[in-house]
A and B are shown apart, each in its own frame.
Chain A
Amino acid sequence: DQQVKQNSPSLSVQEGRISILNCDYTNSMFDYFLWYKKYPAEGPTFLISISSIKDKNEDGRFTVFLNKSAKHLSLHIVPSQPGDSAVYFCAASGLSISNFGNEKLTFGTGTRLTIIP
């Protein structure tokens, strides 16, 4: 049962334009969401996060939007740069899900973003 879904396995965007990566989740107990970027042969790098009390969080070129009623979040990258080409994972956790806090991250299957120069 895939509780976090990234339905687009790949996305190509022209350099300088906006990249929009989408993520859907099914578990209403999730209350913290993160985006990670992963280059080949490297570990995931944390990009940005959002808790369920917010609907938007911005950090430089990266903005994450959360729509709780639709159980949907998106990552906007603007402007897109060649170095943004990587696999992007959405992840979710919930304080209420386990007795142990937010350690258990459930990852989506990833979206490969390619920025075209």
Chain B
Amino acid sequence: DTEVTQTPKHLVMGMTNKKSLKCEQHMGHRAMYWYKQKAKKPPELMFVYSYEKLSINESVPSRFSPECPNSSLLNLHLHALQPEDSALYLCASSQDRGTYNEQFFGPGTRLTVL
């Protein structure tokens, strides 16, 4: 299995809602990532988990809360988002963080905040 899966594909939420994005990989990768991509822009790193511990937080607002329940799963909990948070949210994984290795991306969740 060489895939990163993400659910849901699309999500529409109000500013007062609480929702979660899910990501799963079964490649035995020990590093997992959340990226945000706005239209016509490159992906921007949000969080990195390495061996299930948060290793990088790129100064992301606290309304985004990541969670790594185990080595295969990564969640992103959303609360009190703003319309400007509407974007494509991408999950990625890589073998580990210590050597040169490529990141594999999921298809993304298209999030719309009303």
Contacts and interface: CB of A to CB of B under 8 A. Distances in A.
B31 A41 contact: no
B101 A104 contact: no
B45 A46 contact: no
Contact of A101 (B40, B90, B99, B108): B99
A41 B48 contact: no
B42 A103 contact: no
For chain A, the bracket of interface size reads 20 to 34
B108 A46 contact: no
A100 B94 CA distance: 13
Contact of B4 (A34, A41, A43, A103): A43
Contact of B48 (A43, A89, A95, A104): A104
A41 B90 CA distance: 11
B79 interface: no
Contacts of B97: 100-103
A43 B100 contact: no
A43 B33 contact: no
Interface of B: 4, 6, 31, 33, 40-45, 48, 50, 55-56, 90-92, 94, 96-108, 110
Interface of A: 32, 34, 36, 41-46, 49, 51, 89, 95, 98, 100-105, 107-110
